[in-house]
Structure 1
């Protein structure tokens, strides 16, 4: 059964708002301009109204937190991809794929207060392993220790100073949660003022999606189009699609549970920006269309020895993250960082074998890149 939800997910949206405030202003406008340039799309009148509303919300938040920017940046500053407004704050209050979508910030605070320490370690570990990545490499065994998490932080592809910062946040998470949740409550209050206007756009996005996909679920569409027809079973699994507001151009899904095959449901995300005139099919098509900007981004990736080795290693045989780490002498966190960048440019594709996700070089995109270079540089 497919279900659709336009209610604001106040816990993740509040964290996202804080993360955006921690970035240089105006984040929303700059981000949407970046997407328009990258994918070669021209925003229509509706998209312009969505961006204006989100920018208004960002401006209101900047005014609200103008006297607390040092604290906001302490928890929400990040050096990761500009296009992914996440930070260590997401980890601290467990805002990831395990976040309960119906909770308010107050309810999340109560949940964290009552959560047994082992369960916190497990949830923190799972979000940590997928932080900044396109796919989750390994599931938790439910028995993680503090040492396991500290070791996982050390393996992250982050500067040493930021690793130390995250370790300190984790080791003293109770006191830091109290401060961060206080900021989130203020962010939630801002979002509530715009709830009616946001949900009106959310209703439009869901109406578009239903018309666009008809009987197909968003997860099935992603698997077929975005993941190069990787065979992930969606049969007999309930599908819940949530509108993402501040991450207005996001598209994604995950399986609810520790294992893909035994998962009892699928959660999908649809950015509020999408509509009939700015649709997901156009985005997917543009993702496979080469431009000078995209080619330059690809060449920068290929200039990195480790990323080039990942592609050359997976030409004839796919491999999962831990295998690549062993073959190339890298940490799984570094492999996750590299594969995310390669997937983002469609240079890698995904295969599923048993319960593992395997990476394979995408020959179609490699051929397209070579042809583009021949056309531009050799005039052949």
Structure 2
């Protein structure tokens, strides 16, 4: 079955501003990113990388001049939090990344507050962090845990737990402060609108043309090594990201994600991006090792190391819920550690031994041979 794909053409200036301020505050220069990528990519891609990142670096320098780096609110909302890719502002705005919802400022604020109310009041939802998000998944074995205990069990420093409690309890007040900061950045960013539109349109046109000739299953096979026609056939929205130019993030294959998928694609990427073949950064390497160290994910991978198995079968064997299996598989898929294929109307999972071997080989080289 073909998946309906819609490429979003509009620029989301608030999301782009959050990413840009995050990079400025944490000194993640596009110039340094360019140097790194030129070392790790084929020469044929260098011209495109230099052209795009030089433009982003110019914008970054200009916005930094108009940003009060001594403002404690800017430091609070945009300094790295938990991982190298998360900050308080991203957590506060994260439900918008998982959604195609749009509306007035008032509607968006209400939508975000409702999202945090759900996190606070639904005591069946386990909280955890991955590389980019505060995640929610249904507790294994039907557990119910209080909000404070769920925050308390997170793997982070006590001070960070208090910050999360404060953030979720008073999300409306924090949104008001965040929007005051973002409004100034959006105004400054729109002075570079011609450049941003050029970069956005080039990426958008590429994906529009791609989906005129290929389906989403083919792209998922290229990105995540999923056999074609094995992925849930939900409408999918492709969002090209300008400031977050060097990441591909897929929101899907999760029962909590609703009736559609979202794929965020940085403007540096095309359909030839592959999780298991490209060079892993130190952060990506660390993320992969974290997945292997998680007891449930480790047992899942052991169970499917020499055979294919479908979700209910894995859930019964490991005494987990199918929702939990779906959540784990989504995370493992993004790292390319599993293969997915469809047979007899069931979706089967199997360990991607090549990807695991590559992850461990890179780990060995980084630690012992470089």
The TM-score, its normalising length taken from structure 1, stands at 0.68
Q: Are the aligned partners of 1:290 and 1:369 in contact in 2 as well (CA < 8 Å)?
A: no
Residue 267 of structure 1 is matched in structure 2 by 262
Residue 22 of structure 1 is matched in structure 2 by 25
- The 5 A counterparts of 1:1-380 are 1-23=4-26, 25-38=27-40, 43-82=45-84, 85-100=85-100, 102=102, 107-108=104-105, 110-115=106-111, 118-122=114-118, 132=131, 138=137, 149-212=147-210, 214-217=212-215, 219-229=216-226, 231-234=230-233, 237-255=234-252, 263=259, 265-274=260-269, 279-281=270-272, 283-284=273-274, 287-288=276-277, 311-315=301-305, 316=307, 340=331, 346-349=336-339, 360-366=350-356
Cα deviation digits, residues 22-60 of structure 1 (max 9, x gap): 21x243233344445456676432321211121122222
Could you say what secondary structure the match of 2:265 adopts?
A: strand
2:186 and 2:25 map into 1 onto residues whose CA distance is 16
Residue 378 of structure 1 is matched in structure 2 by none
2:281 and 2:91 map into 1 onto residues whose CA distance is 36
1:116–1:178 distance in 2 versus 1, CA, 3 Å: closer
1:123–1:184 distance in 2 versus 1, CA, 3 Å: farther
Cα deviation digits, residues 156-193 of structure 1 (max 9, x gap): 33333222221122222222221111111112112211
1:129 and 1:303 map into 2 onto residues whose CA distance is 16
Residue 368 of structure 2 is matched in structure 1 by none
Could you say what secondary structure the match of 1:185 adopts?
A: helix
Could you say what secondary structure the match of 1:66 adopts?
A: coil
1:293–1:20 distance in 2 versus 1, CA, 3 Å: closer
1:6 and 1:197 map into 2 onto residues whose CA distance is 15
1:206–1:69 distance in 2 versus 1, CA, 3 Å: same
Post-superposition shift, 1:226?
2.8
Count of residue pairs the alignment pairs up? 343
Could you say what secondary structure the match of 2:213 adopts?
A: coil
The TM-score, its normalising length taken from structure 2, stands at 0.70
1:34 and 1:280 map into 2 onto residues whose CA distance is 21
Q: Are the aligned partners of 1:21 and 1:58 in contact in 2 as well (CA < 8 Å)?
A: yes
1:294–1:257 distance in 2 versus 1, CA, 3 Å: closer
Superposed CA RMSD in Å reads 4.9
1:22–1:139 distance in 2 versus 1, CA, 3 Å: farther
2:29 and 2:49 map into 1 onto residues whose CA distance is 16
1:102 and 1:319 map into 2 onto residues whose CA distance is 36
1:89 and 1:357 map into 2 onto residues whose CA distance is 36
2:246 and 2:354 map into 1 onto residues whose CA distance is 25
Gaps of 5+ in 2: 365-370
1:295 and 1:183 map into 2 onto residues whose CA distance is 30
Could you say what secondary structure the match of 2:97 adopts?
A: coil
Post-superposition shift, 1:310?
6.2
Cα deviation digits, residues 257-298 of structure 1 (max 9, x gap): 9567x72x4433232224xxxx331x32x7426799899879
More strand by share: 2
Post-superposition shift, 1:5?
2.8
More deviation, 176-185/88-97: 88-97
